[in-house]
Chain A
Amino acid sequence: MITATMKENFSYRLWRYDGAPGELIPLLQSAQEHFGYIPIRAINYISGVTGIPESDIYGVITFYSQFRLRPMGKYIIRACAGTACHVSGAKMIIETIEDELGIEVGDTSEDGMYTLNTVACIGCCSLAPVIMINDETFGRLTPASLRKLLREHIRKSGEKADSAAGVSCGG
Chain B
Amino acid sequence: MKTIVVGMGTCGLSAGARVVFEKLEELTDANPDISHLTISGCIGMCYREPLVEIRDDGSRVFYGGVTAESAEKIFESHVLNNERIEDDNLVYIIERDGSTSGSEADFLDLQERIVLRNCGTINPESISDYVESGGYESLKKILFRMSPEEIIQEVKNSGLRGRGGAGFPTGLKWSFAASNEADRKYVVCNADEGDPGAFMDRSVLEGDPHSVLEGMIICARAIGANFGYIYCRAEYPLAIHRLEIALSEARENGYLGKDILGSGFDFDVKIKQGAGAFVCGEETALFASIEGERGMPRIRPPFPAEKGLWQKPTNNNNVETYANIPWIIANGADAYAAFGTEKSPGTKVFALAGKVVHGGLAEVSMGTTIDDLVFRIGGGIKEGREFKAVQMGGPSGGCIPASLKNTPVDFESIPATGAIMGSGGMVVMDDTTCMVEIARFFLDFTQNESCGKCTFCRIGTLRMLEILERLTRGEGIPEDIKKLEQLSIQIKEASLCGLGQTAPNPVQTTIRYYLDEYLAHINDKHCPAGSCLALVEFSIDADKCVGCTICAKNCPVDAISGKVKEPHVIDQEICVKCGKCITSCNFNAVITR
Interface residues of A (CB under 8 A from B): 21-26, 28-29, 59-60, 63-67, 81-84, 86-88, 92, 95-96, 99, 119-128, 130, 137-139, 142-144, 147-148
The reply to whether A147 and B359 contact each other, CB–CB distance below 8 Å, is no
The verdict on B325 contacting chain A, using a C-beta distance below 8 Å, is no
The segment out of B88-96, B125-133, B270-278 that lies at the interface is B270-278
Query: Per-residue CB proximity of B404-427 to A under 8 Å, as 1/0?
Result: 000000000000000000000101
Q: Which of B427, B580, B588 contacts A84 (CB 8 A)?
A: B427
The reply to whether A92 and B583 contact each other, CB–CB distance below 8 Å, is yes
Chain A: which residue is nearest B293 at the CB level?
A60
CB distance from A6 to the nearest CB of B (A): 17
User: B106 to chain A: which residues have CB within 8 Å?
Assistant: none
The reply to whether B275 and A25 contact each other, CB–CB distance below 8 Å, is yes
Docked CA distance A60–B35 (Å):
52
The reply to whether B196 and A84 contact each other, CB–CB distance below 8 Å, is yes
The reply to whether B196 and A144 contact each other, CB–CB distance below 8 Å, is no
A-B interface, 6 closest residue pairs, ranked by CB to CB distance from nearest? A126-B359, A125-B353, A82-B196, A137-B14, A64-B275, A84-B353
Number of A-B contacts (CB under 8 A): 149
Docked CA distance A37–B274 (Å):
17
Docked CA distance A87–B438 (Å):
8
The reply to whether B354 and A88 contact each other, CB–CB distance below 8 Å, is yes
CB distance from A47 to the nearest CB of B (A): 13
Chain B: which residue is nearest A146 at the CB level?
B583
The reply to whether B14 and A22 contact each other, CB–CB distance below 8 Å, is no
The reply to whether A22 and B292 contact each other, CB–CB distance below 8 Å, is yes
Q: Known contacts A21-B292, A23-B292, A83-B394; can you find 8 more A-B pairs with CB under 8 A? A: A25-B273, A25-B275, A26-B273, A83-B442, A86-B438, A99-B583, A127-B11, A143-B588
Q: Which of A25, A123, A137 contacts B199 (CB 8 A)?
A: A123
CB distance from A4 to the nearest CB of B (A): 10
The reply to whether B394 and A126 contact each other, CB–CB distance below 8 Å, is no
The reply to whether B582 and A143 contact each other, CB–CB distance below 8 Å, is yes
User: A84 to chain B: which residues have CB within 8 Å?
Assistant: 196-197, 353-354, 359, 427
Docked CA distance A21–B229 (Å):
14
Q: Which of A64, A119, A144 contacts B585 (CB 8 A)?
A: A144
For B194, B273, B353, B445, the residue with the greatest tally of chain A CB atoms inside 10 Å of its CB is B353
The reply to whether A29 and B273 contact each other, CB–CB distance below 8 Å, is yes
If A143-B585, A144-B587 touch, does A64 touch B295 (CB 8 Å cutoff)?
Answer: yes
CB distance from B279 to the nearest CB of A (A): 9
User: A96 to chain B: which residues have CB within 8 Å?
Assistant: 583
Query: Per-residue CB proximity of B272-306 to A under 8 Å, as 1/0?
Result: 11111110000000000111111100000000000
CB distance from A142 to the nearest CB of B (A): 6
Q: Which of B290, B294, B445 contacts A120 (CB 8 A)?
A: B445
The reply to whether B351 and A125 contact each other, CB–CB distance below 8 Å, is yes
Q: Which of B235, B276, B292, B310 contacts A123 (CB 8 A)?
A: B235
In chain B between 478 and 528, which residues have their CB closer than 8 angstroms to a CB of chain A? none
User: A25 to chain B: which residues have CB within 8 Å?
Assistant: 272-273, 275, 289, 292
Please name 7 pairs of A and B residues whose Cβ atoms are closer than 8 Å in the assembled complex, sorted by A.
Answer: A28-B275, A66-B234, A83-B354, A123-B236, A124-B10, A125-B353, A143-B585
Looking at chain B's contact residues, the main secondary structure is mixed
The reply to whether B359 and A83 contact each other, CB–CB distance below 8 Å, is no
CB distance from A45 to the nearest CB of B (A): 16
CB distance from B528 to the nearest CB of A (A): 15
User: A124 to chain B: which residues have CB within 8 Å?
Assistant: 10-11, 14, 46, 199
Docked CA distance A21–B291 (Å):
6
If A92-B583, A123-B10 touch, does A86 touch B292 (CB 8 Å cutoff)?
Answer: no
CB distance from A72 to the nearest CB of B (A): 14
The verdict on B441 contacting chain A, using a C-beta distance below 8 Å, is yes
The verdict on B209 contacting chain A, using a C-beta distance below 8 Å, is no
For A60, A83, A142, A148, the residue with the greatest tally of chain B CB atoms inside 10 Å of its CB is A83
Q: Which of A67, A82, A130 contacts B14 (CB 8 A)?
A: A130
Interface residues of B (CB under 8 A from A): 10-11, 13-15, 46-47, 49, 194-199, 202, 234-236, 272-278, 289-295, 310, 351-355, 359-360, 391, 394, 425, 427, 429, 433, 438, 441-442, 445, 451, 579-580, 582-588
Q: Which of A29, A83, A127, A147 contacts B586 (CB 8 A)?
A: A147
Docked CA distance A166–B588 (Å):
40
User: A142 to chain B: which residues have CB within 8 Å?
Assistant: 588
Chain A: which residue is nearest B47 at the CB level?
A126
Q: Which of B273, B293, B353 contacts A83 (CB 8 A)?
A: B353
Docked CA distance A124–B203 (Å):
11
Chain A: which residue is nearest B203 at the CB level?
A123
User: A21 to chain B: which residues have CB within 8 Å?
Assistant: 291-292, 310
Chain B: which residue is nearest A61 at the CB level?
B275
If A29-B234, A130-B14, A144-B588 touch, does A60 touch B199 (CB 8 Å cutoff)?
Answer: no
For A65, A67, A124, the residue with the greatest tally of chain B CB atoms inside 10 Å of its CB is A124
Chain A: which residue is nearest B590 at the CB level?
A143
User: A128 to chain B: which residues have CB within 8 Å?
Assistant: 353-354, 359
Docked CA distance A92–B236 (Å):
26
If A123-B235, A125-B354, A126-B47 touch, does A66 touch B195 (CB 8 Å cutoff)?
Answer: no
CB distance from A53 to the nearest CB of B (A): 13
Chain B: which residue is nearest A135 at the CB level?
B237
Docked CA distance A92–B585 (Å):
11
For B13, B236, B354, B391, the residue with the greatest tally of chain A CB atoms inside 10 Å of its CB is B354
Chain A: which residue is nearest B429 at the CB level?
A87
Chain A: which residue is nearest B351 at the CB level?
A125
User: A95 to chain B: which residues have CB within 8 Å?
Assistant: 579, 583
CB distance from B486 to the nearest CB of A (A): 26
The reply to whether A63 and B353 contact each other, CB–CB distance below 8 Å, is no
If A84-B353, A84-B427, A125-B199 touch, does A22 touch B359 (CB 8 Å cutoff)?
Answer: no
User: B290 to chain A: which residues have CB within 8 Å?
Assistant: 22
Docked CA distance A81–B449 (Å):
14
User: A120 to chain B: which residues have CB within 8 Å?
Assistant: 194, 196, 278, 445
The reply to whether B15 and A139 contact each other, CB–CB distance below 8 Å, is yes
Chain A: which residue is nearest B237 at the CB level?
A135
CB distance from A31 to the nearest CB of B (A): 12
